[in-house]
Amino acid sequence: MKTFASTHSRTQNNVKDERGNAKHCFARVQASNNAHIREHSPIYDLQAYKARQRKIKRQNFLKNTAEASMYFCAAALTFSMLFWGV
């Protein structure tokens, strides 16, 4: 009996066609009726998970804000030099 990992792996399986030539087919990862289900490791501490998600969301917000402000400053400096003749 095949294990779940070998049955549902993304690796190629060698299959012979009618003439004996090797043809490649990919194993199906999930059945079509379970396509919406994603496998993941279980969450044991929901509060810690949510705290980590809030921390990641805040970090991404600050990173995006800093990046946007840098682009704004670069554009402002460029146009000020162009139009003020500095």
Mean pLDDT over each residue of the chain, to the nearest integer: 76
Give the per-residue pLDDT at 42. 83
Question: What residue type is assigned to position 55 of the chain?
Answer: K
Claim: this prediction has a pTM higher than 0.85:
no
Question: What residue type is assigned to position 30 of the chain?
Answer: Q
Residue 48 has pLDDT above 80, yes or no: yes
Give the residue-averaged pLDDT of 25-45: 64
Distance CA 6, CA 38 (A): 17
Distance CA 37, CA 44 (A): 19
Cβ atoms within 10 A of the Cβ of 8, count? 14
Give the residue-averaged pLDDT of 24-51: 70
N-to-C CA span, the chain = 76
